Amino acid sequence: MDTDQLIEQLIPIFKDVLDNDDIKLTAQTTAEDIEEWDSLSHIELTVAIERHFKIRFAAKEIQNWKNVGDLLDSISLKIN
Amino acid sequence: MCAFLLIVIFFDLVIGKVMAHFYFKQISGWEYFTRYAIEETKADLLIFGASRAQKQHIPAIFEDSTNIDSYNVGKDDVSILYSYALLKSVLKRYTPKVIILDFENKGFVQSAVSYEVLSCLLPFYKTHPELKETIEMRSPFEKYKLLSSIYPYNSLIIKIIAGNTTFYTKGKKEDKGYIPLDGKLNRSPYVVNLSTPNFEIDSVKVEQYQLFINDCKKRNIKLFIVRSPYYFKTIGLDSSISLAKTIAAKNNIDFLDYSTNELFLKSPQLFNDTIHVNTTGATIFSAMLASDIKKRLANK
Amino acid sequence: MIFNSVAFILFFVVTLLLYYCLPLKYRWWWIIATGVFFYCYANPVYIIVPLFIATVTYIAALQMQKAATEKKATSIYLLAIITNIGLLVFFKYTNFFTNTFIDVFNLFNSSNVKVSNPFLLNIAAPLGISYITFQAIGYLIEIKKGNHEAEKHLGHFTAYLLFFPKIIAGPVERAHNFLPQLKAIKPLQYDDISIGIKQFIWGLFKKLVVADRLSIYVNAVYNNYEHHSGITLLVTAIFYLFQMYADFSGYTDMALGLARMMGFNLTQNFNRPLFAKSITEFWRKWHISLSTWFADYFYNPIAIKKRDWGKWSIVYASFTTFIVLGFWHGANWTFIIFGAMHGLLLSIEFFTRKSRKDFRKKIPAWFNSITGIAFTCGYFALSLIFFRADTVTEALNILRKIITLEGRFFLVDPPTLLLSLVVIGIMYLIEFKKEFFNSAFTFSENNNWLVRSLFYSFLLIMILLTGVFDGGQFIYFQF
């Protein structure tokens, strides 16, 4: 799966967890760009993403994501 | 940066002058009484001390008994440090005939409050050189803080505003410095051990006490040191009182101790609280003391 | 030495002059020298503790990085962490734990004789031990994670831990924020002095004019709380909120101002928290360096580890984090309850996020702001009742009196009360303007030097006129 397809799958997850229908994501998006994305909802997002892709991240990975791009890289590694 | 400092200095001078102006114009309140004591009173019988002096000695009664114009210059929370400074400024203006110094338990004990409360003298720093030494006891940096014109009036702004009105109802001028209390106790006295804990003595206070005595003797003022009534029974001796009595005796000064007077220890209704009598109590005590003093004055 | 004392001002002037006279490469040892002097002024013996912590942590970090195996690195890491936590617990919490143990023992002790604590230690905690150990632990965690290179210069690392502006009350500075600044030291910049002094004056104003004035009133009531009415206690609780804010943020502003005058940008620790609209937002604006420390090194790892619990992982993480955060402040059950109260509200806010968001859409923004701010401040003031009380019983008694609102309001001391209200008002207005109308005409940041000068002159004049010069101890000292 390439980056765009991954983002396509992520957007509904973000919209659902963060309860915001206007979310748009790019590889450069960070938590600062989205009001509802904070350390609390971050955990919820992580769990939702893990469940959707049926993968499991390491704690170290989760703490190191700086933007959506990093998140996508982690996902790619796990599903390929 | 220099311009900034100049602006600060300018406002400091201007506002300082305004504060001084209204400070000295006060017509009511504690600061008014302080100023009156330092600059105005000309009474021939003065009562010095802290709150126990202020609330237990009635000038009118002394006047009735001795026929000497009397005034009470006692002030809350002060110590011998303040009393001696006040004496110096009084003696600069005139010589009273009789002085009563109300001396308390723990009167010589080390206490930061005794120095903090000397802030009431700050407004007089520039105009009363005799107070300089006492004021500078507050801290080694006091004279630098006093370069500011506002500093002497620190924390007083609300009080000064109120003092310029008749807002303060406690302390009527006709009471001549006496502050009446109207509470009443209703129990038997506690027992207090005066010798514990062992507090450290402030040698500066002892020295000022001796100087107080010296200055009175030099000017031929009849000095009476008084330990007024307390509403508790005691075990042991208060070290300050013992020392004060010793020094008084050495200088041939009468030290009159009313703290063990049976009448007061049996009469809770004469007391507002453990360490202050109420108006009735003050009337009785002042009469007793006045008569005692009258006799001693006649004998001398 | 407290910042608002003549002795400190003299110390700082000398420190600053010599600091800028020294060649750049020697400045780090002047930082250590002044840090040691500052530390020893309070209690000379205890200086070995921070020096020991600095050395152990420095060595451990380098060894961890050099370690041949992951296992070895982890052992060194754990040893260093335990040393730091061990020192902190030993100095601050030993008596708490032994007392609690003895209390429980006495509870089950069937004989009539209650045992007293034979393990009671009569030692004071070294100055700023909570801050020093937390900075060291944070550093070790970052090295373990591989986020940063271990510091090779022992002198630089010691200077970081002993930098005197932040010893007593923080901020909890991250090594990777401070060390690069130390290595990139610049010659004297006028801006640093100018900005630093202004921040120092603002901090001094909050501390001397607001905090110390309020403490006179608050102490008079709380030290005698049994004799005061519920209404008086309620007013006092609110005053204490402003006192705590003015005291802590004021002292922090002084610390940041001093650091800035020496050319260092320390982490912002307060962001006008009294305007937070929820407790979640509040903790992003109050003691920011501590809450981010806990968020990064405590909350996140826990929440991530327990993430399979779903929403309950947040609750678990919130409670454990804030109970420990509360406990960090002092060895007393009151601080634990303080923390638990925040864990509770954070969890509740988390669960009600969606419903509160929907509700907000139906009400005007200004109403939402006012109620949010009022509720948040009120809740924090409530938690501060536990924070300040000596025992849980005392706090509960005060709370009971407040809830029943028994008795009449006692003025305590009308001039102090009135002055307190005035100075709270001034501080609140200045901050209100900065928070909500920052783009409008500014005073402190105005382009016109006269306006700026007038503003800071006003602060200095207020300090001379109404600042409390006698006494006034800083509340966070024991940390």
Min Cα distance B162 → chain C (Å) is 9
C476 — pLDDT class (breaks 50, 70, 90): very low
Q: Is the pLDDT of residue C120 over 90?
A: no
Please answer whether residues B65 and B290 qualify as being in contact, where contact means their C-beta atoms are separated by less than 8 angstroms: yes
Residue of B nearest to C418 (CA): B158
Closest CA to C57 of C137, C159, C163, C176: C137
What is the rounded CA–CA span in Å between residue B10 and residue C271?
33
**Catalytic (active site) residue C228:** no
Min Cα distance C309 → chain A (Å) is 10
Question: For B2-298, CATH number?
Answer: 3.40.50.1110
Residue C50: how many other CB atoms lie within 10 Å: 25
Lowest average pLDDT, out of A60-74, C130-144, C264-278, goes to A60-74
Mutation test of the interface with chain A: which of C143, C304, C350, C353, choosing the one with the most A Cβ atoms within 10 A?
C304
Q: Is the pLDDT of residue C406 over 90?
A: no
In chain B, % of residues over pLDDT 70: 99
Q: Domain ranges in chain C?
A: 6-188, 192-466
**Residue C458 CA: distances (Å) to CA of C34, C73, C197, C219, C465:** 32, 56, 15, 28, 10
C471 — pLDDT class (breaks 50, 70, 90): low
Which residues in chain C touch residue A59, judged by CB atoms under 8 angstroms apart? Answer: 301, 304-305
The first and second tokens of residue B115, run together, are 């120095």
Query: Which DSSP state fits C114?
Result: P
Residues C277-289: what's their mean pLDDT?
A: 95
Mutation test of the interface with chain A: which of C285, C294, C307, choosing the one with the most A Cβ atoms within 10 A?
C307
Q: Which helix (H) or strand (E) holds B232?
A: strand B232-235
Helices C129-145 and C175-183, packing angle to 10 deg: 90
The pTM (predicted TM-score) of the whole model is: 0.90
Please answer whether residues B101 and B217 qualify as being in contact, where contact means their C-beta atoms are separated by less than 8 angstroms: no
Residues C5-12: what's their mean pLDDT?
A: 90
The first and second tokens of residue C88, run together, are 């902190």
pLDDT digits (tens, 9 = 90+) for B75-99: 998 999 999 999 999 999 999 999 9
**Residue A8 CA: distances (Å) to CA of A13, A23, B139, C365, C386:** 10, 12, 73, 34, 50
The first and second tokens of residue C455, run together, are 């503003």
pLDDT digits (tens, 9 = 90+) for B270-290: 999 999 999 999 999 999 999
Please answer whether residues C354 and C365 qualify as being in contact, where contact means their C-beta atoms are separated by less than 8 angstroms: no
pLDDT digits (tens, 9 = 90+) for C24-41: 989 999 999 999 999 999
Instruction: Point out the residue among C418, C456, C465 whose CB comes nearest to the CB of B150.
Output: C465
pLDDT digits (tens, 9 = 90+) for B215-241: 999 999 999 999 999 999 999 999 999
Query: Which DSSP state fits B124?
Result: G
For position C479, what pLDDT does the model report? 40
The first and second tokens of residue B282, run together, are 């003050």
Q: Is C295 in contact with A39 (Cβ distance < 8 A)?
A: yes
In chain C, % of residues over pLDDT 70: 98
Instruction: Point out the residue among C454, C467, C471 whose CB comes nearest to the CB of B154.
Output: C467
What is the rounded CA–CA span in Å between residue C222 and residue C160?
38
pLDDT digits (tens, 9 = 90+) for B143-185: 999 999 999 999 999 989 988 987 776 778 889 999 999 999 9
Instruction: Point out the residue among B119, B141, B148 whose CB comes nearest to the CB of C6.
Output: B141
A1 — pLDDT class (breaks 50, 70, 90): low
Check if A39 contacts C (Cβ < 8 Å).
yes
- DSSP-based three-state secondary structure for B193: strand
Q: Is the pLDDT of residue C373 over 50?
A: yes
Q: Is the pLDDT of residue C266 over 90?
A: yes
Q: Is the pLDDT of residue C474 over 80?
A: no
Per-chain mean pLDDT for chain C: 91
For position C465, what pLDDT does the model report? 94
For chain B, where are the alpha helices, taking DSSP H only?
Answer: 2-24, 30-35, 51-56, 59-66, 80-93, 112-116, 132-135, 142-145, 157-163, 203-218, 239-250, 262-265, 279-299
Which residues in chain C touch residue A62, judged by CB atoms under 8 angstroms apart? Answer: 304
Residues B41-69: what's their mean pLDDT?
A: 96
Q: Is the pLDDT of residue A70 over 90?
A: no
pLDDT digits (tens, 9 = 90+) for C186-220: 999 999 999 999 999 999 999 999 999 999 899 98
What are the beta bridge partners of residue B193? B235
Check if A19 contacts C (Cβ < 8 Å).
yes
The first and second tokens of residue C253, run together, are 């502003």
| β B254-257/B222-227 pair status | parallel
Q: Is A59 in contact with C303 (Cβ distance < 8 A)?
A: no
C475 — pLDDT class (breaks 50, 70, 90): very low
- Per annotation, catalytic residue among C156, C287, C329, C342: C329
Which residues in chain C touch residue B145, judged by CB atoms under 8 angstroms apart? Answer: 469
pLDDT digits (tens, 9 = 90+) for B108-124: 999 988 999 999 999 99
Q: Is C418 in contact with B12 (Cβ distance < 8 A)?
A: no
Contact residues of B toward C, CB < 8 A = 1, 3-4, 7-8, 11-12, 15, 19, 112, 116, 119, 139, 141, 144-145, 148, 150-151, 153-155, 157-159, 162
Residues C155-184: what's their mean pLDDT?
A: 94
